Structure 1
Amino acid sequence: MIKVQKAADGKLKQTIEIGNHQIIADEPVSVGGDDQGPGPTELLQAALGSCTAITVTMVAKRKEMPLKDVRVQVSMEKTADATRFHREIELVGELTAEQREYLLGIANKCPVHKILSGKIEIDTVLQGS
């Protein structure tokens, strides 16, 4: 389980505990934060980008493809009707056209991509009194 709570310092800064790891989320000064860390929507974009890179790297390694690096850039745009993620993937290495196409298909199968592309439900309960 991931735990989030207000950090001792900062106006909106949050401490996020993920297993043995701790990261920070905040908001820019323009919306009342102190800009001490990425914002929640930036963390969501980072989750998609890192999941894509890890998934593609793991599959290329398993298939013994000459992939040296995967570089991913993600941006997000919210409209009245939807939220659109734009993802650019750069595959570094002496890959054939067929290998590149295969790995592009694998990118669309990363777990975060599947979550964001599927139906999402959020159950919320209020704890304490």
Structure 2
Amino acid sequence: SCTAATIEVYAQHKGWDIGPVEVQVDYTPAERGCPTRFKLALRLSQRCSQEQIEHLQVIAAKCPVHRTLEGEVMFEDRLELLEPART
């Protein structure tokens, strides 16, 4: 996942050997009056220090996909007609 990759790149940059990273996401689609919900479980090795865990939780929330989905999303749709192919 993007979250795991973001954490792994950050840890590598810091020189931390954090072991395996697992991310599980449960998704509940939006219903009338309720937002889309993502429940994210981040699993880290017990070899991580408490300080590393705290940093990695912050970094996990900075993953590009997480940031996009967390913010307000708007779509601007338009239709463009293609010119007919010339024969």
TM superposition score normalised by structure 2: 0.82
**Alpha-carbon displacement from aligned partner over 1:8-54 (angstroms, at most 9, x marks no partner):** xxxxxxxxxxxxxxxxxxxxxxxxxxxxxxxxxxxxxxxxxx11011
| Matched residue count | 80
- Structure 2 counterpart SS, 1:67: coil
Structure 1: which 4+ aligned runs deviate by more than 6 Å?
Answer: none
Aligned letter for 1:90?
R
* Structure 1 unaligned blocks of 5 or more: 1-49
The share of aligned pairs that are identical, in percent, is 36
Equivalent residue for 2:48, pick from 68, 86, 95: 95
Contiguous gaps of at least 5 residues in structure 2: 83-87
Letter in 1 for 2:43: E
Question: Do the aligned partners of 1:66 and 1:93 also contact (CA within 8 Å) in 2?
Answer: no
1:127 aligns with 2:80: yes
- Cα displacement (A) at 1:93: 5.7
- Larger RCO, structures 1/2 (Cα 8 Å, 6+ apart): 2
Q: 1:69 maps to which residue?
A: 20
* Separation (CA, whole Å) in 2 of partners of 1:124 and 1:104: 35
| Residues 59-100 of structure 1: CA deviation (Å, up to 9, x unaligned) | 000011111221111111134321110011111362101111
Residue in 1 that maps onto 2:85: none
Do the aligned residues in 2 keep the contact of 1:75 with 1:87 (CA within 8 Å)?
Answer: yes
Q: How much does 1:122 deviate?
A: 0.8
SS in 1 for 2:28: strand
Aligned to 1:55: 6
Please identify the structure whose Cα radius of gyration is greater.
2
